Structure 1
Amino acid sequence: MLPSTSRQIVLASRPSGRPVPDNFRLEEVPVPRAPAGGLLLRVLYLSLDPYMRGRMDAAKSYAAAVEVGHVMVGESVSEVVESNHADYKVGDIVLAHTGWRDYAPSDGTRLRKLDPSLAPLTTGLGVLGMPGFTAWSGLHLIGKPKAGETVVVAAASGPVGSLVGQLAQMVGARAVGIAGGAKKCEYVKDELGFDAVIDHRSSDFADALAAACPRGIDVYFENVGGAIWDAVLPLLNTFARVPVCGLIAQYNGPSGNTAQDRLPRTMREILSKSLTLRGFINYEFADEHYPAFLDAVSKGIADGRIRYREDITDGLENAPAAFMGMLDGKNFGKAIVRVGG
């Protein structure tokens, strides 16, 4: 039997710089019902991802902003609890764009069934989901690493960066990770098996990165921007490729060294070294390449060549704090909230 009320977290106000708790509001509302021809979903696990910070702003972007007073956007692993749809039955587990809430109605579109017998359900939000496909598509379709080349990735302990390095090694490239703090660096080197890892918090970060890349950088998978880009740029080889996935250092607006103008120097290097910088949103590749990604990464997990880590927070009410912590790099692995699992 369904409860009478459901919780949801809405955007209470737009942040100025870093999000703060007052930008979010926890509400209690009646549990919705399955629409005609649709479904009612109970959220089990909610994904927290850096792109959500951009959706909190009103600025024009590749996707619509969350309106003030509306439910925060987000993908989830959910259970079908009511169904008026021929393709889904009660008890099915699906990936869905429900937002930050306990229960969500669905018209049955943009869902993907998950088989709990094949992999833990949470992998659908991480290594076998959007972050995993982001890593796979950005690296293979834009970076195109070759055996013997050097691939560098920032945020190397996170859900995207950790897979980028492992995939690079699977094609014979050398993987160099950038992470923050000794614990994350140890994980990247010792558990993930990267060839080298550099702590971006160290005082000699730029010199250490140069020493770890004696033949320069052929592929740089950009997740961060800011000061890390400053250290990477002079090391890029002629014809280097740079998939631009994220700029997390700049999502909260300019502060400190992120306020400087990097464009002239970057453009000069693009011209003089014939660099390729290509921004991308993972879904532009999904229709054609998602099955190949699932096949390759699933096999890599099964045979032990691919490892992953998850950082799970309990309770929908704790999603804002977990999200703000993720933006500050406090998570260790894919950030997930256990809502009803």
Structure 2
Amino acid sequence: MADEMKCITLAARPEGAPKDSDFKLETRPVPEPSEGEVLVRVHYMSLDPYMRGRMDDAKSYAEPVPLGGIMEGGGAGEVIASNDPGFKPGDMAFGMFGWATHGVQPAKMLRKLPEGLPITTSLGVLGMPGFTGWYGLTEIGKPKKGETLVVAAATGPVGSMVGQIAKARGLRTVAIAGGADKCRLATEKFGFDAALDHRAYDDARSLRKALAEAAPDGIDIYFENVGGKVFEAVLPLMNRFGRIPVCGMIAGYNTGALGGTAGAGPDRFPVFWRTLLVKHLLAQGFIISNHFDRYGEFLNEVAPLVASGDIAYLEDIAEGIENAPAAFMGLLEGRNMGKQIVKLA
């Protein structure tokens, strides 16, 4: 067993977009598991947009990463030591090990991974992102056959799950993505009926015009991952009694506007509030960690579809923990193609 591990710690709190100097690569002793704990050598770790919020010292639904602390995140790998009868060396497990090559967690906080599927699926299509898309769509979006769904960041692990589940339930699905390649991916790999490149439109008004053509019957469900210009384009096209599951607002993560300080531009909240009223819309935020009692139901429904190829997925894998910061910064700028993962072993 290795004596040392590598990890990425938070060196400074970002001002705007994260930069290299906000992260630090460190070498530390490999931790030893206590009673009831398990030591895992992480093979793959997940990068997700929510991690940007953990870098800020702002009040939120979870505590921020402390300065000098290991960046938060999930990983999957091999058990190399166990003080719990539920795990033995050689088992594959998922846990919140952070940005690190090794990690110790209580056995009750780990999920043993089944054989037959790549362990990377536990980080994306069958992990927190896929579950987020499934839960938000089914429980808040409440899709009905014949309706129209729009989802931004549509080729990511959340958006692609939303689109495929909605399509299977008989909805018209419209993807919004960044770049022509991602739009092709949305229609050709993930089966969306139409896809729009938000980067091809200078403002919300021009994007809205194109969106109205792609969704001629209006929009019944908008799965909100992005905010910003995309949300401004979508809102006037929402049908009466439409539903908006609010999953993320990545367009504002680097601006400071979501941390309590004023963002640039006019106050559009009154327009949103009035539209919510007169169109009888439901807009509901959710944090998926509050709903893991439904995770087994999600796995039972979706895992066989992934195994059979009926649910497609795409992974963007960077190599080496030292490249995690660059991959994460690229994720926030939309440079990834699919679920962003870092291969560690």
For residue 206 of structure 1, the aligned residue among 208, 213, 227 is 208
Structure 2 CA distance, aligned partners of 1:188 and 1:202?
A: 16
Please say if 1:176 is aligned against 2:174: yes
1:144 equivalent to 2:158? Answer no
Equivalent position of 1:324 in the other structure: 329
With the length of structure 1 as denominator, give the TM-score of the two structures. Answer: 0.96
Root mean square deviation of aligned Cα: 1.4
Q: Could you tell me which amino acid in structure 2 is paired with residue 38 of structure 1?
A: E
Residues 266 and 339 (structure 1), Cα distance of their counterparts in 2 relative to 1, 3 Å cut: same
Does 2:253 align with 1:251? yes
In 1, Cα distance between the equivalents of 2:152 and 2:267? 21
Q: Which residue of 1 aligns with 2:91?
A: 92
Q: Matched residue of 2:140: which SS?
A: helix
**Equivalent residue letter for 2:195:** V
- Aligned residue identity for 2:327: A
Do the aligned residues in 2 keep the contact of 1:225 with 1:247 (CA within 8 Å)?
A: yes
Deviates more, 1:257-266 or 1:13-22: 257-266
Residue 123 of structure 1 and its aligned partner are, at CA, apart by 0.3
Deviations 1:39-70 (A, max 9, x none): 21111100000000000001110111100000
Aligned-pair CA distance for 1:253: 1.5
Distance 2:134 2:305 in 1: 12
Q: Tell which deviates more after alignment, 25-34 or 13-22.
A: 25-34
The corresponding residue for 1:260 is 266
In the alignment, is the contact (CA less than 8 A) between 2:167 and 2:191 conserved in 1? Answer: no
User: Secondary structure, in 3 states, of the residue corresponding to 1:139?
Assistant: helix
What is the percentage of aligned positions where both structures have the same residue? 52
Question: For residue 84 of structure 1, what is the amino acid of its counterpart?
Answer: N
Q: What is the TM-score when the length of structure 2 is the normalising length? A: 0.95
1:42–1:24 Cα change, 3 Å: same
**3-state SS in 2 of match to 1:94:** strand
Q: Secondary structure, in 3 states, of the residue corresponding to 1:215?
A: coil
Partner of 1:103: 102
Displacement of 1:38 in angstroms is 1.5
Q: Which of 296, 301, 304 is residue 301 of structure 2 equivalent to?
A: 296
Displacement of 1:73 in angstroms is: 0.3
Residue 3 of structure 1 and its aligned partner are, at CA, apart by: 1.9
Distance 1:32 1:23 in 2: 24
- The one-letter amino acid paired with 1:265 is V
CA distance in 2 between counterparts of 1:58 and 1:248 reads: 18
The CA distance in 1 between the partners of 2:23 and 2:265, in whole Å, is 27
Secondary structure of the residue aligned to 1:61 is coil
The answer as to whether partners of 1:150 and 1:175 remain within 8 angstroms in 2 is: yes
Size of the alignment, in residue pairs? Answer: 337
Other structure's SS at 1:319 match: helix
- The residue identity in structure 1 corresponding to 2:148 is T
Moved more, 214-223 or 30-39: 30-39
Relative to structure 2, which stretch is displaced further, 277-286 or 323-332? 277-286
In the aligned structure 1, how far is the partner of 2:88 from the partner of 2:55?
A: 34
| Structure 1 unaligned residues grouped into runs of 5+ | none
1:200–1:331: structure 2 CA closer, same or farther, 3 Å change rule?
same
Match of 1:219 in 2: 221
Alpha-carbon shift at residue 258 of structure 1 (Å) = 6.0
Q: Secondary structure at the match of 1:109?
A: helix
How far does the alpha carbon of each residue in 1:171-192 deviate from its partner, in whole angstroms, 9 at most, with x for none?
A: 1111110001110000101121
Q: Is 2:49 the partner of 1:50?
A: yes
Partner of 1:277: 283
- CA offset at residue 33 of structure 1? 1.4
Q: Confirm or deny: 8 A CA contact 1:151 1:219 kept in the other structure.
A: yes
In structure 2, what is the Cα distance between the partners aligned to 1:258 and 1:176? 29
Task: Give the aligned partner of residue 154 of structure 2.
Answer: 156
Give the C-alpha shift of residue 254 in structure 1. 5.2
Amino acid corresponding to residue 310 of structure 1 in structure 2: E
